[in-house]
Amino acid sequence: MNLKSLPMLMTWSRVFLIPVFIICYYAPIEDARFWAGLAFMIAAITDWFDGYLARKLGVSSKLGAFLDPVADKLIVSAALIVVAAEYHDNLWVILSAIIIMMREIGISALREWMAENNAREVVAVSNLGKIKTSSQLAALTWLIYGGELWGIDWGYLGFPMLYFAATLTLITWVQYTKAALPVIMNSDPKN
C-alpha cells in the first residue's frame, strides 16, 4: 500500500465500517455492543486523521474533500438511527438524533451551495464545530457500547454528552447560517 493513498483509504473505511458496527451491534454474540462501539470508535478516529494526513502528505484532493464529509454524515446518521432505536423511550435522545441529522444535512447543503457561489470559506468548519463533532462521536461511541468498562458506565455518560452535542449542533447551525446570510441575500435570484 502506498502511504499517499492512506487518507482516502481511511475515508472509505468509515463507509465500510457502517455495516460492520451495525452487524456487531445486533449480533447474537457475547460483547456484541463492545465490538460495535469499537468499530464505531475506529471510524471516528479515522475522521480526525484522514484530512490531517492528506494535508501532511500533500495529497489533498477535491474528491477527498467531497467524500470526507459524506462519509462522516453516513456513519453518524447510521449511529444516530441505531441509538434512537435502542433508546426509543427517551424523548431527549430522539430529539437529539433528529436535531443532529437535520443540522448535518442542512449544513452540508449550505456548504455545497456556498461553494457553488465561491464562498465556501464563509462556512468553513469552526473550532466550536470541531468540539461539536468530538462530543457527538464520543456520545455515540459510548451509547453504542452502553456498558461498563474500567469501572465507568459509558452508556450513562453517553446521554449528557449527546445532549451537549445536540446543543452545540444548534449553536453551530445558527452560526453557520448567520455567516452565510449575507451571501444568500446578495445572490442572484435567478439561480
Give per-residue pLDDT as tens, 56-99: 887 777 777 777 778 888 889 999 999 999 999 999 999 999 99
Q: What is the pLDDT of residues 97-122, one digit of tens each?
A: 999 999 988 888 888 877 877 777 77
- Residue 43 falls inside a structural domain: yes
Domain that holds residue 22: 3-180
Q: Give the closest residue to 35 by CA, choosing from 147, 153, 159.
A: 147
Query: How many angstroms separate the CA atoms of 42 and 82, rounded?
Result: 17
- Residue 185 falls inside a structural domain: no
Instruction: Give 188's pLDDT tier (boundaries 50, 70, 90).
Output: low
Q: Give the closest residue to 67 by CA, choosing from 108, 116, 100.
A: 108
- Residue 89 falls inside a structural domain: yes
The helix (H) or strand (E) run that includes residue 72 is: helix 62-86
Residue 99: what pLDDT? 94
State pTM to two decimals. 0.83
More confident residue, 40 or 189: 40
CATH number, domain containing residue 88? 1.20.120.1760
Query: Is the pLDDT at 191 greater than 60, yes or no?
Result: no
Helix 91-116 × helix 62-86 angle, to 10°: 160
- Residue 90 falls inside a structural domain: yes
Q: What is the pLDDT of residues 11-64, one digit of tens each?
A: 888 889 899 999 999 999 888 889 998 898 888 888 777 777 788 887 777 777
**Helix/strand/coil for 90:** coil
- Residue 189 falls inside a structural domain: no
Tally of domains within the chain: 1
Query: Is the pLDDT at 124 greater than 80, yes or no?
Result: no
- Residue 186 falls inside a structural domain: no
- Residue 110 falls inside a structural domain: yes
DSSP 44-67: HHHHHHHHHHHHHHT---HHHHHH
Indicate the residue type of 73.
Answer: K
